[in-house]
Amino acid sequence: MQDRKQQLIVALDVPSFEEARQLIDKLKEDVDIFKVGSQLFTACGPVVVRYIAAMGKKVFLDLKYHDIPNTVASAVERAVALNQQTHTVNNELYDPKEHGIFMLTVHILGGKEMLKAAKEAALKQSKELGVLNPKIVGITVLTSDASTTNVLDIVLERARLAKESGLDGIVASSQEAAILRQEFGKDFIIVTPGIRPLGEKSQDQKRVTTPSEAIKNGSSFLVIGRPIVCATNPLNAAKEIFKEMNNI
């Protein structure tokens, strides 16, 4: 049975560093990748990214950059610079080429020039600093969008633009993953939010699938928040999701 730990990203959608730290400490036994989004990053900034890295874990920085090319490139450079080793936890060293921000998001709607600028900035900065070069994935359609009109066509069009611009992959619903995988091949990253374990309510996510469905459909990474973060025992919840991911 394949180990799915490197495919699960736990979304730290909490309002404070202390809450995030407690979750990381509870989950670090089994979880290797954590998502830091706009809520948490706005609350505590780079400290949470550096803490995750210092624990020997990886960060999916989900800030959805969307601005003029130069501004986005500059933001990506600063994100990559967060992978520099500046402090340790419990006097343990971590490898800046292996841990830290391993993937970040940009909006595909920003256009080809912006997407190319983001990718080039990440590559240049990581080489200069000798740190992990993050994969860059583009946002296609948000999973909270209830509209079903031409969603697949829109996702495919934006995915093509992402690939043509040199991005490593996209963020898309598992409902489109099978066709995306067929269209763009095995190496194209498909990050899937809106994952709900069997029996869980979809809440504000409109286009959701279960962990096993997402894996079957070809998703590379599954982003899961509330089913783990809000569980009475987050680690047990994560273990149950691993079981579902393997149930294919």
Residue 6 CA from chain centroid, whole number: 12
Distances (CA, A) of 196 to 7, 62, 97, 138, 204: 15, 19, 32, 22, 11
* Residue among 168, 84, 82 at smallest CA distance from 119: 168
Catalytic, 64? Answer yes
β-bridge mates for residue 61, sequence order = 36, 104
Distances (CA, A) of 204 to 193, 195, 198, 226: 12, 12, 16, 11
The catalytically annotated residue of 28, 64, 124, 216 is: 64
What gap in Å lies between CA 9 and CA 37, rounded to an integer? Answer: 12
Asked if 199 and 172 touch (Cβ cutoff 8 Å), the reply is: no
β-bridge mates for residue 222, sequence order = 8, 192
- Annotated catalytic residues are 64
